[in-house]
Chains A and B, each alone.
Chain A
């Protein structure tokens, strides 16, 4: 289905978040790194929504608090100190991070602020131990060019990354706070991107600039895109945490599709003459129907003394199973809401029943009990009375919103480009000054100095890569988009390996390896440089590169020499090759006698299979030709 996005009136704004590669965190001296082992420290907290001067409390936040949500934080000693635990005030702002942010801002032609003021942005989902995220504007304005179009930048800011959510069990949410405090740069564009492709190109262009500084982290999770997507008849929806560039356009396409489908449902409901009033907040206890159910979830809930509560959605039959985007139906949206407000595991609805062990008979009884006609839908949940009621109240609210079209909300990105409901869109950003960190003066001299030494802009670098290293356009562009853009030049200017090979390894090979689950972040630049110098000096074959990289990722800080030895990939000497060839000629003596020199091609294949990764083809070619000649002559 091709959509004319300009006709729909699509508007997209980007917020690109990229972790900076600093030696310390943003407000303390901890190592900006994640840990995998069991936590050494755990502690439990609650976050209380604070009241504003106007006596207002964020309703969603207060609701969560009343539900008794507790947060279990996990930490280890290397990556966390009292600052991340909110047991000590922040130290001074990390100036290394400020400098990198200034460099990025200047490359985007932005105006650095005269004085940086660190703010507290209220966030009480537990992802920040304090209940707010520390953030500051570094520069305003600027732009990035996309196919000749000027896309204005609203601001470049610097903030602390949040804690990582591990899981959620009942009322306890578990977070790991190693990531908390890692410097994160945020670049926000104006909402002037009018198609998914254009948005993706803008993200790509910003990504190139970030990498050109050589001071950003690489690897999955180090860059995250937030998308603000809106269409005029729909709503402004914020999609958080798109981890891969390739997913930007897909996530937007799917969001547009979701909104258009919701509008269709709205129109259908209008045709069916459903009104907000006709959707009643009447929750009926239908536990008795399921006393003997085969459905395990319901069975377990009932045996735990919980209830089954149902609500009727008039004339909604068939709509709950309407697919909004792959794998997401209107029913899914209701389930997400029910989970958020009622903390229930899931909901059941008549559009998808009988299933999950629930029988036709039970559905019929259910419909009878709540007096549902065939055009009505029934939703039910099994949980304690409070949670079940909250869940169904959320379902009713979501059903009523369907009548209006698309609700404004914040959604989280899934790895396949689809999204899920996260929370209502927060009101105006509740920011107030971080008084524990003094403002930082940025003087003009310093800015001038940085401006005079800016890294090369991607556009110019592209041209140079093609000219100096004879890369074709595709490869040059891949190098620029890769996390190894800077490393490429370092290697290519020193190694005897051809730049094209180096470029292909650093882009295509790396991508393939990452796809296979190789942890490339474990490999250090020095190791990659050493690898190419090995290949250049003929100490190992270029065919061996993927195997060596894989080995290196599993043996942190090991040498390339150790890799080749351990993998048996050290290069064979000419004498060793000759010995292998002589043995092969003898094994295949009959064939060589029959075909003479014409057996070369086949023999070459046999030898290469034997020495793969340990000898280069030219050498094998040379020795084989000589030995074959000798062999034919002798016999």
Chain B
């Protein structure tokens, strides 16, 4: 692999180097008496080393297999695209200030049609030029914190995001928008819900399911919804702003502790589990969907608690689970284990002694359910009662992922197990709903 020749290796790379052709140059390939001419295009990393890819004049790419007699000539130098941004709109001083923090996941991008590259647009001027509507909503300040795929984001990054967000809030912005990849967005949203308490203004997390380079992307609609909410929504909580359905109609705001990615690809992948979304926005109007919520109040003082302890694990019980897995966590000095049990909150009898051993060793063991929807109740069956008796903490209707994040946060606040137990059962950021309502699990919409 080579820096100047992305994706090219072996034979193909040798020939290209010999021809002194760079990506974007016009090359002529002569093979078995046939001549091909076009722009040299980067090759996929996973492609073989026998083909080179050119873009024909018609705009199509083709791959040409290199043979012993294949010749490559450079016949023209590629013109490097220089981005000429359209004039930036005047910043309207009467508009509220909103900060957009990017952590990765491209919420806006532009395409280099010449080589096929897609580049993220992250700076404020980039965002204005790709989504010009933003300039009518708020004065945008953009900060690029990380450029990470969301699966690479860990508890350490949550702390950074929380601190950065707090800094902007203390600077007096009307709201903060955080762009994040969708895969682990739910975890980060839960983490910020615990780390940023007593919020004066909203913190809106946003993402997209369809890449921003395509005209049908949900990115711009979600971003506009998020910025509008940051600028003027009546609530001040950590929420995730995404499509409500597969239509480009309403943006829905899910509470950070109750939200889960439920579909690998759909736009409406995020769902509020065991709770109603906090609000939605349709036709420029906000509709609050819950009874009690933290109202926007810029005079309120933010409380920042950004410490997380990573010595906490989430264990999904499944048939034949080797109990030594739990023993391993104990031996590695983990402070807590969240079990994702079956049904109302159970694990196989063959895991009981491992669970008891963990608790005996001072590890906090809590129970959630892999059913996703519903509340654990360990009083109904003997299995549950046994676990309860051994000191397993039932976490009501808390999402397993939220429970993991919360336990990390709790051990960031205290190292006392009893205090940790108390905190786990205290409703801090709407992670526990006292009542289980009928709504929620996919209802047939009329």
Q: Which residues of A contact B (CB under 8 A)?
A: 43-55, 70, 82, 85-89, 111, 113-117, 119-122, 124, 129-132, 135-137, 140, 154-155, 157, 428-433, 435, 438-439, 441
Contacts and interface: CB of A to CB of B under 8 A. Distances in A.
Contacts of B83: 53-55
A129 B216 contact: yes
Contacts of A53: 81, 83, 110-114, 117, 119
Contacts of B217: 48, 50
Given A50-B212, A428-B59, A431-B59, 18 more contacts: A44-B247, A45-B248, A46-B221, A48-B217, A51-B110, A51-B121, A51-B129, A53-B119, A55-B110, A82-B265, A86-B210, A86-B216, A87-B265, A88-B265, A113-B64, A115-B53, A157-B60, A441-B63
Nearest to B62: A113
A82 B246 CA distance: 10
B311 interface: no
Contacts of A89: 265
A70 B283 CA distance: 13
A495 to B, nearest CB: 46
Given A52-B110, A53-B111, A429 B59 contact: yes
Given A52-B110, A54-B83, A114-B64, A87 B267 contact: yes
Contacts of B301: none
11 contacts: A50-B213, A50-B217, A51-B111, A70-B248, A89-B265, A113-B63, A115-B53, A116-B63, A117-B61, A137-B58, A431-B55
Pairs of residues from A and B, 3 with the lowest C-beta to C-beta distance, nearest first: A131-B215, A115-B63, A53-B112
Contacts of B61: 117, 119, 137, 431, 433
B215 A55 contact: no
A438 B45 CA distance: 11
Contacts, number: 152
B216 A55 contact: no
A428 B55 CA distance: 13
A114 to B, nearest CB: 4
Contacts of B213: 50, 432
Interface string B205-226: 0000110111111001100000
B357 to A, nearest CB: 45
Nearest to A53: B112
Majority secondary structure, B binding face: loop
B69 to A, nearest CB: 14
A154 B58 contact: yes
Nearest to A155: B58
Interface string B102-122: 000000001111101111010
A50 B110 contact: yes
B46 A438 contact: yes
Given A53-B114, A115-B51, A137-B56, A439 B63 contact: yes
Nearest to B47: A439
A45 B247 contact: yes
B216 A130 contact: yes
B380 interface: no
B245 to A, nearest CB: 7
Contacts of B34: 111
A285 to B, nearest CB: 28
Contacts of B51: 114-115, 439, 441
A483 to B, nearest CB: 30
Contacts of B117: 53
B389 interface: no
B86 A47 contact: no
Contact of A136 (B60, B110, B116): B60
A82 B266 contact: yes
Contacts of A431: 55, 59-61, 113
Contacts of B113: 52-53, 430-432
A29 to B, nearest CB: 16
Contacts of B212: 50
Contacts of A132: 214-215
Contact of B59 (A70, A121, A124): A121
B65 interface: yes
Contacts of B118: 432
A157 B46 CA distance: 24
B84 interface: yes
A572 to B, nearest CB: 58
B249 interface: yes
A129 B217 CA distance: 10
Interface string B65-109: 100000000000000011111100000000000000000000000
Q: How many of chain B's residues touch chain A, expressed as a range?
A: 35 or more
A54 B84 contact: yes
A52 B34 CA distance: 32
Given A82-B265, A124-B215, A117 B247 contact: no
B44 interface: yes
B62 A114 contact: yes
Contacts of A48: 215, 217, 220
A130 B214 contact: yes
A82 B268 CA distance: 12
Contacts of A87: 209, 246, 265-267
A46 B60 contact: no
B130 interface: yes
A122 B213 CA distance: 11
A52 B110 CA distance: 5
Interface in B372-418: none
Most chain-B Cβ atoms within 10 A of its Cβ — which of A113, A120, A124, A428? A113
Contact of B84 (A47, A55, A115, A120): A55
A89 B210 CA distance: 9
Contact of A85 (B110, B112, B246): B246
B215 A52 contact: no
Nearest to A440: B63
Contacts of A135: 60
A115 B62 contact: yes
Contact of A432 (B58, B86, B116, B216): B116
Nearest to B67: A114
B134 to A, nearest CB: 13
Contacts of A45: 216, 247-248
A89 B211 CA distance: 10
B85 A155 contact: no
B42 to A, nearest CB: 9
A117 B63 contact: yes
A566 B220 CA distance: 60
A131 B249 CA distance: 18
Contacts of B214: 50, 86, 120, 130-132
Contacts of B86: 55
A435 B110 CA distance: 15
Interface string B238-249: 000000011111
A46 B113 CA distance: 22
Most chain-A Cβ atoms within 10 A of its Cβ — which of B59, B63, B113, B246? B113
B432 to A, nearest CB: 32
A139 B212 CA distance: 31
Given A54-B83, A115-B51, A438-B44, A47 B216 contact: yes
A124 B58 CA distance: 19
A124 B265 CA distance: 22
A149 to B, nearest CB: 23
A381 B130 CA distance: 34
B200 to A, nearest CB: 33
A44 B249 contact: yes
A352 B235 CA distance: 60
Given A48-B220, A433-B116, A119 B81 contact: no
Most chain-B Cβ atoms within 10 A of its Cβ — which of A44, A51, A132, A135? A51
Contacts of A51: 110-111, 121, 129-130
Contact of B62 (A49, A54, A82, A117): A117
A120 B217 CA distance: 14
Most chain-B Cβ atoms within 10 A of its Cβ — which of A47, A55, A124, A432? A432
A70 B248 CA distance: 9
A431 to B, nearest CB: 4
Given A51-B110, A51-B129, A43 B62 contact: no
